[in-house]
A and B are shown apart, each in its own frame.
Chain A
Amino acid sequence: MSQQQLTNVDFEPLHIDHAESEKIVGKSTSYWKDAWRRFRKNKLALTGIVVLLFLGFMAAFGADISGENFRDNDLMSTNQAPSSDHWFGTDNLGRDIFARTWDGARISLFIGLTAAFLDLIIGIIWGAISGYFGGKVDEYMMRIADILSSLPYLLVVILLMVVMGQGIWTMIIAMVITGWINMARIVRGQVMQLRSEEYVLASKSLGAGNSRLLFKHLVPNTLGPILVTLTLTVPNAIFTEAFLSFLGLGVPMPDSSWGVMTSEALGSFQYFPYQLFFPAFFICLTMLAFNVIGDGLRDALDPKDRK
Chain B
Amino acid sequence: MAKYVMKRIAYILVSLLLIITATFFLMQAAPGSPFASERKMTPAMEAQMEEAYGLNDPIHEQYVDYLVNAITFDFGPSFKYVGQDVMDIILRSFPYSLVIGLEAVFIAIGLGVLLGVFAALKHNKFGDYSAMIIAVLGISVPSFIMATILQYILAIKFDIFSVARMESFADTILPALALATTPLAFIARLMRSSMLDVLNSDYIKTAKSKGMSQRIVTYKHGLRNALLPVISYMGPLVAGILTGSFVIEKIFGIPGLGSEFVTSITNRDYTVIMGTTVFYSVILLFCVLIVDLIYGIVDPRIKLDSKGGGK
Contacts and interface: CB of A to CB of B under 8 A. Distances in A.
Q: Is there a contact between chains A and B in the complex with CB atoms less than 8 Å apart? A: yes
A243 B245 CA distance: 12
B142 interface: yes
Interface string A225-261: 0000000000100010011001111000000000000
Contact of B142 (A158, A276, A287): A287
Nearest to B270: A162
B240 A288 contact: no
Contacts of A266: 148, 251
A163 interface: yes
B145 A284 contact: yes
Interface residues of A, number: 36
A288 B137 contact: yes
Contacts of A242: 142, 144
30 contacts: A147-B15, A147-B18, A150-B288, A151-B19, A151-B284, A152-B280, A153-B239, A154-B243, A155-B242, A155-B243, A155-B277, A155-B280, A162-B26, A162-B265, A162-B268, A239-B142, A242-B142, A242-B144, A243-B247, A247-B246, A266-B251, A270-B152, A280-B145, A284-B141, A287-B140, A287-B142, A288-B136, A288-B137, A291-B140, A295-B136
Interface string B132-176: 000011011110110010001000100000000000000000000
B243 A273 contact: no
Most chain A C-beta atoms within 10 Å of own C-beta, residue among B15, B144, B242, B250: B144
Given A159-B277, A163-B30, A262 B242 contact: no
A303 interface: no
A152 B280 CA distance: 9
A242 B140 CA distance: 13
A36 interface: no
Given A154-B246, A159-B23, 4 more contacts: A151-B19, A159-B273, A163-B31, A269-B152
- Chain B interface main SS type: helix
Interface residues of B, number: 39
A163 B29 contact: yes
Interface of B: 15, 18-19, 23, 26-27, 29-31, 136-137, 139-142, 144-145, 148, 152, 156, 239-240, 242-243, 246-247, 250-251, 262, 265-266, 268, 273, 277, 280-281, 284-285, 288
Nearest to A289: B140
Given A150-B15, A152-B243, A270-B156, A247 B142 contact: no
A269 B251 CA distance: 12
A165 interface: yes
Contact of A158 (B141, B156, B265): B265
Contact of A243 (B136, B144, B156, B281): B144
Interface string A283-298: 1110110011001000
Contacts of A276: 148
Nearest to B142: A239
Nearest to B133: A44
Nearest to B163: A270
Interface of A: 147, 150-155, 158-160, 162-163, 165, 235, 239, 242-243, 246-249, 262, 266, 269-270, 273, 276, 280, 283-285, 287-288, 291-292, 295
A242 B288 CA distance: 28
Most chain B C-beta atoms within 10 Å of own C-beta, residue among A152, A246, A273, A295: A152
Contacts of B140: 235, 284-285, 287-288, 291
Contacts of A248: 266
Most chain A C-beta atoms within 10 Å of own C-beta, residue among B140, B141, B148: B140
A154 B19 CA distance: 15
A287 B26 CA distance: 32
Contacts of A162: 26, 30, 265, 268, 273
Nearest to A165: B31
A283 B242 CA distance: 22
A165 B31 CA distance: 8
A239 B268 CA distance: 24
Nearest first, the 8 closest Cβ-Cβ pairs linking A and B are A288-B140, A154-B243, A152-B239, A287-B140, A163-B30, A280-B145, A152-B243, A284-B141
Given A235-B140, A287-B142, A151 B281 contact: yes
A247 B265 contact: yes
B291 to A, nearest CB: 13
A285 B280 CA distance: 32
B91 to A, nearest CB: 20
Contacts of B15: 147, 150
A280 B280 CA distance: 29
B265 A287 contact: no
Nearest to A159: B26
B289 to A, nearest CB: 11
B277 A163 contact: no
Contacts of B141: 284, 287
Given A152-B243, A247-B247, A273 B18 contact: no
Contacts of A151: 19, 239, 281, 284
A291 B136 contact: yes
A152 B247 contact: no
A266 B30 CA distance: 29
